[in-house]
Structure 1
Amino acid sequence: MIIVTGATGQLGRQIVERLLTRVPANQIGVSVRDPQKAQELADQGVRVRQGSFTDPDGLAHAFEGATQVLIVSVDKMGEQAVQQHRTAIDGAVSAGARRILYTSHMGAGASSHFQACRDHAATEDALRACGVPFTSLRNGFYATSTVQFLNPVLATGGEIALPADGPVSWTAHADLADAAARILAEEGRFDGPTPPLTATQAFTLDDVAKLATQATGRTITRTVAPDDQFRGQLIGRGVPSEAADQLLGIFAASRAGEFAAVDPTLTTLLGRRPTTLDTVLREQLPRT
């Protein structure tokens, strides 16, 4: 049985939906914190069990009978995230899974400027040490993250002041979900970390502002804010200092080229050109 964690989240649910087109429902299980939110999957014949990365006993039940376990990374950073991933890895090993898959990130590395990428690297180290074959899906940066940067000016247009950045391979959730489902259905297609799973072009935030202008019909421009000034503004709005530093890490990492890679692997997996950032923005942003 293929077990997918986090199946009520944006990525996990789409992975299961696409997996259902490739694998019989009775061969798919999900581990979720709130089974009621997965009732639609249960109605399709998917095995739904409660499981949490903070509850090893619950994971043992959720992972029972697993042949493969896909661990969808948590939306936290730091040691707490890594520890929860280790708990999930231990649970998959104890359940007898013959392969563990994990949603990592392009740029994962111990020296990354971005905390999440350091966490992904630490999790990949735990996977290497667990004694079970693994596949680490090094996903491109989620394209919907650009919407968060644009939110302050979406209603009226205007200027977004953000720290200096570099090119980023913004990649659609739907494409990454499709790729994960294909890799799960073709067990062993990748061993260890995959190449970066990215769209075919990398964009700076200047590019994003221009695409957003075209998508919304409102003029959106981008200016550069010094890191210290941006951090101070975040803290002034009530953002904890640790979270502000983590967000700044995204910009530092992009300036260092950590998210700039463009690789054909995702195109090959999908058998088509990945969704463009322009398409994602037109789907996500309101137009005048």
Structure 2
Amino acid sequence: MIVVTGASGQLGRLVIAALLQKVPAGEIVAAVRNPAKVADLAARGVQVRQADYDQPASLVAAFKGADKLLLISASEVGRRVPQHRAVIDAAKAAGVGLLAYTSILHADTSPLPLAAEHRETEALIRASGLPAVILRNSWYTENYLAGIPAALQYGVLLGSAGAGRIASAARADYAEAAAAVLTTDDQAGRIYELAGDESYTLAELAGEITQQSGKAVAYQDLPESEFKAALLGAGLPEALATLLAESDAGAAKGGLFDDGRQLSQLIGRPTTPLSKLVGQALG
């Protein structure tokens, strides 16, 4: 039995879709805070169990009988460590055979402030003694594609990544990798650095948008504080604006680059090209 936490989220749903290609639906558990959000998965035969990172008792019940558990990192930056600790403790209490965790690329050395909670979580997993595999995901390309409408409207793609190369990949690529690890033996103790096969600068991303849309889009590099201010001005919440600006600054220092191609090796195909994802986003 394979349990996926955060199964109603964007990554969680894609992981379950990938698992459904490999194992019977009845062997998959969607662990979610609100079961009503995954009624469609229940209709396909996936087991649905209520699991709240802030209610440890719910986690132990949700993980009962699990052979493998995927802990998808919580979405509330700043609260992740205690929430992850609750999941790890519950996994140990439930006797889970393998814990997989979605961390961040090069968590041990990453310049991104976002990596701190992932480092702490990895340390908690090691201290727990649970057999574990760490999936260190680079950036989701979708994080940048979300800015395409504004870039087309104003003719400018804003950022703070300088000439830093970004080896991002589609969310679905990372989901396939997680499913591959969860359905393959001898994964305990492994750490995967997962990133896209190709890398790009934000200036190159602006060029790709220009080429495919026919509308001129230029990249404008800003100091981190000014980029954050621009994001706040566009209506983003403070926490998200801070995260994106800090992450761009980390990318400028090489924090989102890796050329090891472990992701494509895991999924058995090249990662989805940036050009294809831009085309899909332009619709």
Q: State the TM-score, normalized to the length of structure 1.
A: 0.91
| Superposition map of 1:120-131 within 5 A | 120-131=118-129
Q: Is the 8 A contact 2:131 2:188 kept in 1?
A: no
- CA distance in 1: counterparts of 2:280 and 2:238, whole angstroms: 33
Partner of 1:273: 270
- Counterparts in 2 of 1:239 and 1:199: CA distance versus 1, 3 Å: closer
Secondary structure of 1:60 counterpart: helix
Partner of 1:22: 22
- Counterparts in 2 of 1:188 and 1:230: CA distance versus 1, 3 Å: same
Partner of 1:189: 187
Deviation, 1:54, is 0.5
Partner of 2:62: 62
The superposition leaves residues 57-96 of structure 1 with CA deviations (integer Å, 9 ceiling, x where unpaired) of: 1111111111111011112222x11111111111111111
| Superposition map of 1:215-254 within 5 A | 215-235=212-232, 243-254=240-251
For 2:105, give the aligned amino acid: M
Partner of 2:84: 85
- Counterparts in 2 of 1:62 and 1:277: CA distance versus 1, 3 Å: same
- Counterparts in 2 of 1:232 and 1:143: CA distance versus 1, 3 Å: closer
Q: Does 1:137 align with 2:129?
A: no
The superposition leaves residues 97-142 of structure 1 with CA deviations (integer Å, 9 ceiling, x where unpaired) of: 0110111111313x64323211111111111011111111111210
RMSD: 1.9
- CA distance in 1: counterparts of 2:215 and 2:128, whole angstroms: 51
- CA distance in 2: counterparts of 1:151 and 1:35, whole angstroms: 33
Partner of 1:10: 10
Q: Does 1:104 align with 2:103?
A: yes
Secondary structure of 2:95 counterpart: coil
Q: How many residues end up aligned between the 2 structures?
A: 282
Secondary structure of 1:141 counterpart: coil
Q: Is the 8 A contact 2:114 2:247 kept in 1?
A: no
Moved more, 94-103 or 156-165: 156-165
Equivalent position to 2:253, from 246, 256, 262: 256
- CA distance in 1: counterparts of 2:266 and 2:226, whole angstroms: 42
Q: Is the 8 A contact 2:7 2:13 kept in 1?
A: yes
Partner of 2:40: 40
- CA distance in 1: counterparts of 2:237 and 2:196, whole angstroms: 33
- CA distance in 1: counterparts of 2:276 and 2:33, whole angstroms: 32
- CA distance in 2: counterparts of 1:272 and 1:41, whole angstroms: 27
The superposition leaves residues 170-196 of structure 1 with CA deviations (integer Å, 9 ceiling, x where unpaired) of: 1011111111111101133352421x2
Partner of 1:94: 93
Deviation, 1:240, is 6.1
Q: Mark the runs of 5 or more structure 1 residues left unpaired by the alignment.
A: none
Moved more, 271-280 or 238-247: 238-247
- Counterparts in 2 of 1:179 and 1:224: CA distance versus 1, 3 Å: same
- CA distance in 2: counterparts of 1:264 and 1:164, whole angstroms: 22
Q: Is the 8 A contact 1:30 1:62 kept in 2?
A: no
- CA distance in 1: counterparts of 2:144 and 2:15, whole angstroms: 22
The superposition leaves residues 198-221 of structure 1 with CA deviations (integer Å, 9 ceiling, x where unpaired) of: 221111100110111223222111
- CA distance in 2: counterparts of 1:266 and 1:190, whole angstroms: 17
Secondary structure of 1:214 counterpart: helix
- CA distance in 2: counterparts of 1:139 and 1:227, whole angstroms: 23
Secondary structure of 1:30 counterpart: strand
Moved more, 178-187 or 111-120: 111-120
Q: Does 1:201 align with 2:210?
A: no
- CA distance in 1: counterparts of 2:149 and 2:111, whole angstroms: 25
- CA distance in 2: counterparts of 1:232 and 1:11, whole angstroms: 28
- Counterparts in 2 of 1:117 and 1:97: CA distance versus 1, 3 Å: same
Deviation, 1:239, is 5.4
- Counterparts in 2 of 1:122 and 1:151: CA distance versus 1, 3 Å: farther
Q: State the TM-score, normalized to the length of structure 2.
A: 0.93
- CA distance in 1: counterparts of 2:35 and 2:126, whole angstroms: 31
Q: Is the 8 A contact 2:225 2:245 kept in 1?
A: no
- CA distance in 1: counterparts of 2:244 and 2:122, whole angstroms: 22
